Structure 1
Amino acid sequence: MLKINQIHHIAIICSDYQISKQFYTNVLAFEVEREVFREARSSWKLDLKIAGKYQIELFSFPSPAPRPSRPEAAGLRHLAFEVNDLNEAILFLSAKNVQTEPIRVDEFTGKRFTFFADPDGLPLELYEV
């Protein structure tokens, strides 16, 4: 039987590395673990930590294909981040000029959540626990 312990990391390809790096490190406050330029691919790779755990790889490539649609394209729909206080998180994002959608309530859990987007339009969710 296959025994998976947890998600190890999530890979994100961005269209403008410097803008996305600023968003993920300064706006979302993810910690940089490692940053390398992969000359053979003309590509940056930024390893980011969330709450002290390595979890996101941010890649740049010279001409990445655009996302087909938002958010119901086949494949990964969105990334969800857990927060303790949704109102506080929304105020923080607003102060960084990041717009969030109206708060919704999960019909099955009763928990509140909202969506916002990264610089490339990748849907991101804040889910209150």
Structure 2
Amino acid sequence: MIAGLHHVALIVADLAAARRFYLDALGGRELAAHYRAERDSWKVDIGLPDGAQLELFTFPAAPPRPSRPEARGLRHLAFRVSRLDDMVLRMARFEVACEPIRIDEYTGARFTFCADPDGLPIEFYELP
């Protein structure tokens, strides 16, 4: 039986842009960064407030992953936020455009989407 989510691993094209998004814009905290010379690859561990982590990887010549129209695999990454309007304003300060806020027809919760630097859909889901 699982106890919870530990991490989500993402392959990024531009580590500096990914750090700016996940650390600066979203407010994650860098736990560790390791360069793996044998793979010419970086691995950066990012801590989230609830204890879960993101792992950012770089790989030379990694192919892009299609996300629109929707492709198999990871559909989007959703973050729980307590104040959606504040998150949308924060994203705007980092020049990240969010879609118009919508209402989940099943839960009544408010949510919106933006994209990370590699085009991965990121959802902000409001749970006060």
The TM-score normalised by the length of structure 2 is 0.95
In structure 1, the residue matched to 2:43 is: 45
Q: Which runs of 5+ in 1 are unaligned?
A: none
Alignment of 1:102-113 (within 5 A): 102-113=100-111
Q: Could you tell which deviates more after superposition, 79-88 or 66-75?
A: 66-75
CA deviation digits over 1:26-81, x for unaligned, max 9? 11111000000011110000000011624100001111111123261101100000
Is 1:47–1:54's contact at 8 Å kept on the other side of the alignment?
A: no
Identity of aligned residues (%): 49
TM-score (norm 1): 0.94
Unaligned runs of 5+ in 2: none
Instruction: Name the Cα RMSD after superposition.
Output: 1.1
Give the letter for the 2:106 counterpart: F
> Where do 4+ consecutive residues of structure 1 move more than 4 Å?
none
Q: Distance in 2 between matches of 1:7 and 1:23?
A: 21
- Deviation per CA, 1:81-104: give whole Å up to 9, x if none: 000111111011111111000111
- The structural deviation recorded for 1:24 is 1.1
| Count of residue pairs the alignment pairs up | 127
Match for residue 91 of structure 1?
Answer: 89
